[in-house]
Amino acid sequence: MNSLFTNILSLRRIEYLIINEHWKIIELSPKINTLADSSNEIQVGKDVRIGFPELIGVEAIAKDIITGEQDNFELKGVIRTEKSVNPIYIDICIANNIKNNQISNELLIVVEDVTERMLLEQSLVQGANEANLLLRTLTASKQYIDQVVTSMADALLVTTPSGRIKTINRSAQILLEYDEVEICGESISIILREIENWQEEIEQRGNIKTPLFGPITPLIKEVETFCQTKNGNKIPVAFSCSKVQTEIEHFQGYVYILRDMTVRKQAELAKQEFLAMISHEIRTPVAAVIGIAEILFNTDLTKHQGELVETISNSGKALLEIINDILDFSKIESGKLEFEEEPFHLISCIEEAISLLAPKAKEKGLELIFSHNPDLPQLIIGDISRLRQILINLLSNAIKFTETGSVEISVTSRKRQVIGNETKDCEIQFAVKDTGIGIPRNRIDRLFKAFSQVNSSITRKYGGTGLGLAICKQLSELMGGKIWLDSELNKGSTFYFTITTRVIQTQLSKEWERESNESDVITIGDEVGVIDTTIAEQYPLKILLVEDYATNQKIITLMLQQMGYQADIANNGLEALAALRRHSYDVILMDMQMPQMDGMTATQQIIQEWEPSVRPRIILLTASIILRKSTSDLPYGIDDYLAKPFRIEELVQVLTKYHLNKENFRKVSDISEIESHNQNDSIIDATALQEIYRIADFNCAVNAREFLIETIDDYLEETPKSLQDIQIAFNKDNFKTLQRLAHTLSSSSATLGASKLADLSAQLEMMIVSEMWQSLPEQIAKVEAEYLHVKGALQQKREKY
C-alpha cells in the first residue's frame, strides 16, 4: 500500500492487516503489532487470530464478507490490557479488500485506537450507573422507613429544631384529628401544651455520641401528659421525645411518639377504686376480728380457750398483712407510693427489724447475727419504714426457710459519684445470709416476680402470697438500688439489696445550732457522742415523748434512736392522755409548755387516772432549773426531770434508771423507799406553792395570785370530802375506790407541797395494792391526822398571798 497513505493512517492511530480466506496475514501496517494482543505473533503468514483473539468466532461472517453477502463487520471497544502499560481500546472493522471495484477473497482488517473516546465513555457510564444504583438504594430505604412509620400504631410527629411540625404519621392524624396538610408548620405546643417543661431535659440528654452514628438521644422516659386535638379534646397520652441530629440541617429536629392512655387511665382508675373499696371492705371486718379477739383474750379464759383466741387473732393479723401487701404492691405498680425523706438512725432501723423477728428465730433455735463495718453512716435520709419493711421481709423469709444454723445480716456502705443535682452520695448494701434450704438455679429468676414462689409445694408448706420479694424489689429499686441473690440448694441463700441515700450526720447538728437563740431549744454538742446502741436491748422501754416543738421532737427522737429506742410522739397533754389510753408506756418524757394541755396538767391527770403499778414513769423536760436537783423534791408523780438543754448522756442516765419490767410493780420494799424520801420536815413545801404560782404566771390570761388562792381553796374544800369517802370505802371493803381516792389525795397533796401527806397517801395506796389489809386503818388515821396539819399550814400560807 501507498506509504504516504499508511503514514497518514498511522498518525491517526489506525493500522491495518490484509488476510486471506484462511486467516493468514498477507500484508500488515508497520505499527499493527502495538495494537495486537501479543505483538510477536503478527507476521506475514501467521494466523491473524493469534494476535487478535477477538476474531475467533467471526468465521461465518468472514465467509459472508468474502462472498459479498455482507459488507463489513465491526467490533467496537475491545480492551487490551497488558501489565506494564495502561489499557488501550481498539475498534476492529473487517471488510472485503476490494481491488479494482471487485470483491476479492482477501479481507481488510482495520484496527483503530479508540482509547480516548472509550475512557470518556467509561467515566460517563460509571457516573450514571453509580447514581442510578444510589438512587435505587435510597428509594428503597426511604420506602422501608416510610412503611415502618406509617404502620406504627403509635402516633409519631416530627418537628423542626424550632418545634414546627414537619410530618405526622397516619396514627397521629387519627389521634389528633388533623390532616397532615393542616398541621404542618404549626408548633408542637398546640398539641402538647406543656412541652416547655421538658425542653430542658430533652436538651440535656441530647449529647451521647456513638462511634458509628454520631450523637443520639436516648428517648426520655415516657411522660404522662395531655394532648390537644383539633376539636379541643384533651386526651391523656404518654409521650417520649428524641432529638434528631444529622449533619444536614434539613434533617434535624425532634421526634415525638404519643401513645393514647385513655384506656389505660380508665383501667387504672377502676383498679384503684376497686382496690380502695375492697381494702376497706375487707379491712373493716378483719380489724373487728382482731380487735374483738384481743378483748376476748383479756377476759377470763381457760388456757385452751386462750390458745384458740390467740389463733383467731394471729390469723386475723396474718390476713391483714396479706391485704396490706397487696395494697402496697398495687400502689407501687401504679406509681402512687410516696416515700418519706426524713432523717433516721440506720442501725436502729436494722435492729428494730431484727428485734421484731428475734423471737421467731429463737423459737427455731437459729442464731441471728448482725455485722456491719464501723464507718457505716449513723444518720441517713430516707423512709425508715420502707427500709424496715424490706429487712423484715428478707429476715422473715430467711428464718422461715431455715431449719438449723443461722441468719446473718451484714451491712456495708460506700461513697458514690454524685451527678448534677443529685444529693444521694452514699450507697448502702445489705446482705441477708441464711443456712436454709436454698433455691434451685433455674428458679431464681422467678423469685422476684409477683405472685410466684419457687414452686407450689413451697406455698403449701410455707404459706405466703409470693408478693413479698416482688415488693422488696420494687421498694429497693424505688430507693435507688437493686436486689439480687446467690443461692445453693441445701446450703443456703444470700439475698443482697442496695439503696442510695444521703448521709446527714454532721448536718443535723448544724441545724440545731442555727436555732439556738430560742431558750426552749435543745442543743447538742458538736459531736454526737458514742452512745451504746444496745441500751434499748438492755433496758427495754416503751417511751412516749410529749413535746410540741417539732425540732425538739426530732432531736429527742434521734437521741432515743441512737440508744435503740423507737418513741411515740404526742404533741400535747391531751394527745398524751389519748395515747396512754390506747397503749401502756413505761416512760413518758413530758415537756412542760404545750398548747391545749400542758405538762403539769397532763401529769396530774395521769396520776389520777392510772395506778402506780401501771402508770408510766414521768420524766419532765423543763426549760428552767427551778426544780431542785434532788428527786425527792419533785412534785408527786414526776419521777425525774431533764433540764433543757440536756445531753444525750443525761437522757441515757435517766432512762436506765427507770427501766422497768412491766409485770413488776413496787413491792413492799418500795414503801420504805418512799418513807426515806421524806427528808423535808415542813408540812408544806413552800416551793411547791411557788411552782404553782410560777406555772400560773406563765399563762397571761390568769392572775397568778388568784389562781393560787383558788387552788388552795379547792384543795381545802375537796380533801375533807375525800377523807370521808376513804373511810366509807374502807368500811365497805371497796378497795378499788379506796385505792383511787388515796391516789388522788396523794397527787393533789403533792401539788400543793404537802409532801408528807402526799407520801402517807401514797403509802396507803401501796398498802391497798399490796393487800396489806391489817395496816390500813392505822395508815388512814395517819393520813387524817396529817391533813389537819396541812390544813392549818395552807391557811397560813394563804394569808400571805
C-alpha to C-alpha distance for 648 and 560, rounded to whole angstroms: 8
Cis amide bond preceding 645, omega within 30: yes
Which residues lie near another protein (CB under 8 A)?
Answer: 53-54, 56-61, 73-79, 81, 89, 118, 121-122, 124-126, 128-130, 132-133, 136
Give the nearest distance from C-beta 132 to another protein in angstroms. 8
- Between residues 19 and 394, which has the closer beta carbon with respect to another protein? 19
User: Alpha carbon of 62 to those of 25, 49, 71, 221, 653: distances in Å?
Assistant: 14, 12, 10, 79, 128
Quote the DSSP letter at residue 163. S
Least separation in angstroms between CB 27 and another protein: 23
Of 50 and 202, the one with the shorter C-beta distance to another protein is: 50
Nearer to another protein, 37 or 591 (CB): 37
**547, burial (CB in 10 Å: exposed 0-12, middle 13-18, buried 19+):** buried
Considering the complex, what minimum distance in angstroms separates the CB of residue 103 from another protein? 21
Q: How far apart are the first and last CA of the chain?
A: 162
- Please say which residue, 114 or 467, places its beta carbon nearer to another protein: 114
Pick between residue 17 and residue 607 the one whose CB is nearest to another protein.
17
CB of 168 to another protein, least distance (A): 31
Cβ proximity of 378 and 509 under 8 Å: no
Smallest distance, Å, CB 55 to another protein?
Answer: 9
Quick one: which of 754, 764, 751, 759 has its CA closest to 725? 764
Residue 203 CA to residue 217 CA, distance in Å, equals 9
Nearer to another protein by C-beta: 124 or 277?
124
| Shortest distance in whole angstroms from residue 130 CB to another protein | 7
Q: How far apart are CA 707 and CA 700, in angstroms?
A: 12
Query: Which lies closer to another protein via its Cβ, residue 77 or residue 540?
Result: 77
Q: Which amino acid is at 511?
A: E
Please name which of 408, 410, 454 lies closest in space to residue 434, comparing C-alpha atoms.
408
- The rounded distance, in Å, linking the Cα atoms of 598 and 603 is 9
Contact 743, 765 (CB under 8 A): yes
C-alpha span between 327 and 272 (Å, rounded)? 10
Q: 59 or 307, CB closer to another protein?
A: 59
CB of 44 to another protein, least distance (A): 19
**Rounded-to-integer distance, Cα 480 and Cα 426, Å:** 11
As measured in angstroms, the least distance from the Cβ of 56 to another protein is 5
- DSSP states of 490-550: TTEEEEEEEEEEEE-HHHHHHHHHHTTTSTT-----SS-----TTHHHHS---EEEE---H
Q: Which are the contacts of 361, defined by CB distance < 8 A and separation ≥ 6?
A: 367, 368, 399, 407
Closer residue to another protein (CB): 129 or 207: 129
Least Å distance, CB 151 to another protein, is 21
In the complex, least distance from residue 142 CB atom to another protein, rounded to whole angstroms: 16
Shortest CB 283 distance to another protein, Å: 60
Q: How many CB atoms lie within 10 A of CB 65?
A: 22
Rounded to an integer, what distance in angstroms lies between the CA atom of residue 289 and that of residue 464? 21
**Which CB sits closer to another protein, 81 or 669?**
81
- Tell me whether residue 130 or residue 179 sits nearer to another protein (CB atom): 130
Could you tell me which of 203, 201, 204, 257 has the C-alpha nearest to residue 227?
A: 257
H or E stretch covering 636:
none
Nearest-approach distance from CB 390 to another protein, in angstroms: 50
> For another protein, which is the closer residue by CB, 135 or 578?
135
Distances (CA, A) of 530 to 121, 534, 558, 649: 93, 12, 13, 9
Rank residues 53 and 185 by Cβ distance to another protein and give the closer one: 53
Smallest distance from another protein to CB 76, Å: 6
Could you count the other beta carbons within 10 Å of the beta carbon of residue 254?
A: 23
Instruction: Name the grid cell of 793.
Output: 399550814
